[in-house]
Amino acid sequence: MNEKLSLTLRPALIHESRVIAEQYIRLKDWDLVREEVLASNLLQARTESTSKTVYGEVSKRLKNLSDNELALMTKSDADVKHLVWLAICRQYPFTYQFAIEVLSERYSNSHFQLYPEDYASFLNAKAEWHSNLDKITQQSRYKAQQIMFKMLTECGLVDESKVMIHQQISKELETLIKQSNSDYLRIYPGDYS
């Protein structure tokens, strides 16, 4: 298989995602959004370098959302975390596959507790088919696992003990996801798992 699976080594960045989405809805131009975010230090980063790095990661994710999904992110507190998770899953096929093959599968079998071994087993299985994953150091594997569980917690999909939380997404978000690809509903443990 030639497709490269990449891991994200950044957390969910919920607040930063909403700030950038608000600017996009206002300006409707990613170049202008970048200028505004960096010039006004809207991400409140200590250094310009950090702002650029965080903006780059968040904008890369958010560009996977439709204008309607981005608008919903700016006006619905209830949907923000779900939309950030959707953007992450659309940007990173590895994360999407983890959501489907581990979260959804375990949830549908009433196995709500997640363990580090679930992630390790998933990564090892993917590494057999994706040579770039096989070359990852143990330290990077551990960091990626920590980030995955942190994102799951930040997005409200699991609690601090790594127990999955039943997700109920809004009807508006459900409709928007169905307009693009209803398979993405399965990334939320619950009714769609």
pLDDT digits (tens, 9 = 90+) for 7-22: 677 899 999 999 999 9
Instruction: Write out the residue range of the structural domain in which residue 173 sits.
Output: 92-193
Compute and round to an integer the Cα radius of gyration of the chain: 17
When pLDDT is cut at 50, 70 and 90, the band that residue 48 belongs to is: very high
State both tokens at 31.
Answer: 């170049």
Number of domains in the chain: 1
Assess if residue 175 is contained within a domain.
yes
What does the pLDDT read at residue 1? 36
What is the percent of the chain where pLDDT is above 90?
85
Assess if residue 9 is contained within a domain.
no
Structure-model confidence comparison of residues 190 and 1, the more confident one: 190
Q: Show the DSSP H helices in 40-128 as ranges.
A: 48-62, 67-75, 77-91, 93-98, 105-108, 116-127
Query: Is the model's pLDDT at 3 over the cut of 90?
Result: no
| Interval 96-105: pLDDT, tens | 999 999 999 9
Q: Alpha-carbon distance 88 to 6, whole Å?
A: 12
Mean pLDDT, all residues of the chain: 94
Averaged pLDDT for residues 14-39: 98
Q: How far is CA 102 from CA 19, 111, 112, 120, 138, in A?
A: 31, 10, 10, 11, 21
What does the pLDDT read at residue 129? 86
Assess if residue 62 is contained within a domain.
no
Rounded (to 5) percent helix, strand, coil in the chain: 65, 5, 30
Q: Alpha-carbon distance 59 to 155, whole Å?
A: 17
Assess if residue 22 is contained within a domain.
no
Assess if residue 162 is contained within a domain.
yes
Q: How far is CA 134 from CA 3, 5, 80, 141, 147, in A?
A: 14, 11, 34, 10, 18
Assess if residue 32 is contained within a domain.
no
Assess if residue 122 is contained within a domain.
yes
Assess if residue 40 is contained within a domain.
no
What is the percent of the chain where pLDDT is above 70?
96
| Interval 129-180: pLDDT, tens | 888 787 888 998 899 999 999 999 999 999 999 999 999 999 999 999 999 9
